[in-house]
């Protein structure tokens, strides 16, 4: 079976966890699938970032005549030409790792079956974060994906319930397959990387809290900054923040208003090796988000041995499997301080999460793909 994967939506280093999870999954298909072949449909401006997958004998790259970074034109091309191109190349099944399923010839007329992934329905819960046009596009795309896809995959039980609540006609189509979470083992090079980070940011091992997050409002960094003001009275522990996207200006304003400029370090985007070094050497990893479809960072942190303080909102307690320290009211700075104090007394421990293992997740997708073919 030739499986097409729509990767035209990928804007490298902008799409965050969705891109990371998708790239992990592509590696899984390359390593563990000895029966199917894959065709990766990519934009001509991002094709270079997918060259690494040519190392797998079952992977081919099809560079499309559109640019992924030009979003409006890309969406138009994707909806008018991608399905036709896939059919002309003999694709048996199309896999879309995001919610924006393109227009396609119906299966009743001999079209290709589609499997679409809906990661969450965030714009329904926080419409104030999005433009009217983006909300309209998201709602239209979710409904279309649920109506036209043979199968809809989502990444947590919370998201499954949310999708069925809003699109009950898709109840029998929706399945949960968790995202893959892949962290590298520590190496001698990890210590060297942290030495560089120490010098760059003026931090010490176990002398800082760490968070990995965009600066979107639902990530709740403002509450964490207010908590840091309270923590400042107890000592000089720093907060290292890594991430891109969102309103950095508002974040910086909050840091200034709370008077913690000397404690907060904004690294911007960090590579995986630097991120892992920051996980391994922090005193605690803090994840204040109040809405996630999955929530990869706290699990990554626990796999690297960091103590984690986070919230119970949406799927976070489900995905962290009750193994973190939880803040009862995630919007209360005082509750954050209490939870942090509690977590600092706990011994550090590395946790295993076999449910998110790349091989385990890959085989669940393959069972889904093969099941579609057998029908």
For 142-175, write each residue's pLDDT tens digit: 999 999 999 999 999 999 999 999 999 999 999 9
Residues 251 and 228: beta-carbon distance below 8 Å:
no
Report the pLDDT averaged over residues 346-354: 94
Report the pLDDT averaged over residues 67-74: 94
Q: Among residues 13, 36, 125, which one has the least CA distance to residue 362?
A: 36
Tallying the residues shown for the chain, one arrives at 375
Q: Is the pLDDT of residue 15 over 70?
A: no
Written as six digits, the tokens of 299 are 């699990």
Phi first, then psi: give them for residue 18, nearest 5 degrees: -65, -45
Q: How many CA atoms lie within 13 A of 281 on its CB side?
A: 22
Mean pLDDT of the chain: 94
**Other residues' Cβ atoms within 10 Å of the Cβ of residue 256:** 12
Which is more confident, 26 or 185? 26
DSSP bridge pairs for 40 = 5, 61
Q: Is the pLDDT of residue 14 over 80?
A: no
Using CA atoms, how far apart are residues 26 and 97, in angstroms rounded to an integer?
10
Question: What confidence score (pLDDT) does residue 367 get?
Answer: 96
Which is more confident, 232 or 261? 261
Residues 320 and 296: beta-carbon distance below 8 Å:
no
Which is more confident, 320 or 244? 320
Using CA atoms, how far apart are residues 36 and 58, in angstroms rounded to an integer?
7
For 18-59, write each residue's pLDDT tens digit: 888 899 999 999 999 999 999 999 999 999 999 999 999 999
For 191-241, write each residue's pLDDT tens digit: 899 999 999 999 999 999 999 998 988 999 999 999 999 998 877 799 999
Residues 279 and 250: beta-carbon distance below 8 Å:
no
What percentage of the chain carries pLDDT values higher than 70? 98
Question: What confidence score (pLDDT) does residue 186 get?
Answer: 75
Query: Which domains does the chain show, CATH number per domain?
Result: 2-180+357-374 (3.40.50.2000), 188-353 (3.40.50.2000)
Report the pLDDT averaged over residues 333-352: 96
Q: Is the pLDDT of residue 340 over 60?
A: yes
Question: What confidence score (pLDDT) does residue 181 get?
Answer: 86
The one-character DSSP state at 169 is G
- Please give the C-alpha separations between residue 290 and each of 126, 257, 294, in angstroms, as whole numbers: 11, 22, 12
- pLDDT band for 375, please (50, 70, 90 cuts): very low
């Amino acid at each position: 079976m030739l499986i097409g994967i729509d990767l035209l939506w990928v804007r490298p280093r902008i799409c965050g966890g969705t891109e990371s999870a998708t790239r992990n999954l592509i590696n899984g298909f390359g390593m563990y699938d000895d029966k199917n072949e894959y065709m990766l449909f990519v934009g001509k401006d991002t094709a270079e970032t997918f060259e690494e997958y040519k190392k797998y004998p079952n992977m081919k790259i099809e560079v499309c005549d559109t640019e992924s970074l030009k979003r409006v034109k890309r969406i138009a091309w994707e909806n008018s030409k991608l399905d036709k191109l896939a059919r002309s190349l003999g694709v048996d099944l199309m896999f879309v790792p995001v919610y924006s399923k393109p227009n396609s010839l119906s299966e009743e007329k001999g079209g290709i079956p589609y499997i679409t992934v809906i990661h969450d329905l965030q714009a329904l819960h926080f419409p104030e974060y999005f433009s009217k046009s983006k909300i309209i596009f998201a709602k239209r795309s979710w409904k279309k994906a649920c109506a036209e896809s043979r199968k809809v995959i989502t990444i947590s039980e919370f998201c499954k319930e949310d999708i069925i609540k809003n699109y009950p006609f898709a109840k029998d189509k929706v399945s949960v397959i968790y995202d893959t979470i892949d962290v590298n083992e520590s190496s001698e090079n990890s210590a060297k990387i942290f030495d560089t980070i120490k010098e760059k940011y003026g931090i010490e091992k176990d002398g800082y809290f760490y968070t990995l997050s965009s600066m979107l409002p639902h990530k709740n960094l403002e509450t964490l900054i207010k908590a840091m003001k309270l923590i400042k009275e107890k000592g000089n522990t720093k907060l290292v923040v890594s991430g891109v996207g969102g309103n950095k200006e508002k974040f910086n304003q909050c840091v200034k208003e709370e008077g913690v400029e000397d404690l907060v370090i904004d690294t911007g985007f960090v590579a995986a090796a630097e991120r892992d070094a920051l996980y391994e050497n922090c005193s605690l990893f803090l994840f204040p988000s109040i809405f996630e479809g999955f929530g990869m960072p706290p699990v990554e942190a626990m796999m690297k041995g960091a103590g984690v303080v986070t919230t119970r909102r949406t799927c976070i307690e489900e995905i962290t499997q009750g193994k973190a320290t939880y803040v009862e009211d995630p919007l209360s700075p005082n509750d954050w301080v209490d939870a942090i104090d509690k977590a600092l007394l706990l011994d550090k421990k590395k946790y295993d999460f076999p449910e998110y293992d790349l091989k385990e997740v890959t085989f669940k997708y393959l069972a889904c793909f093969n099941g579609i073919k057998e029908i």
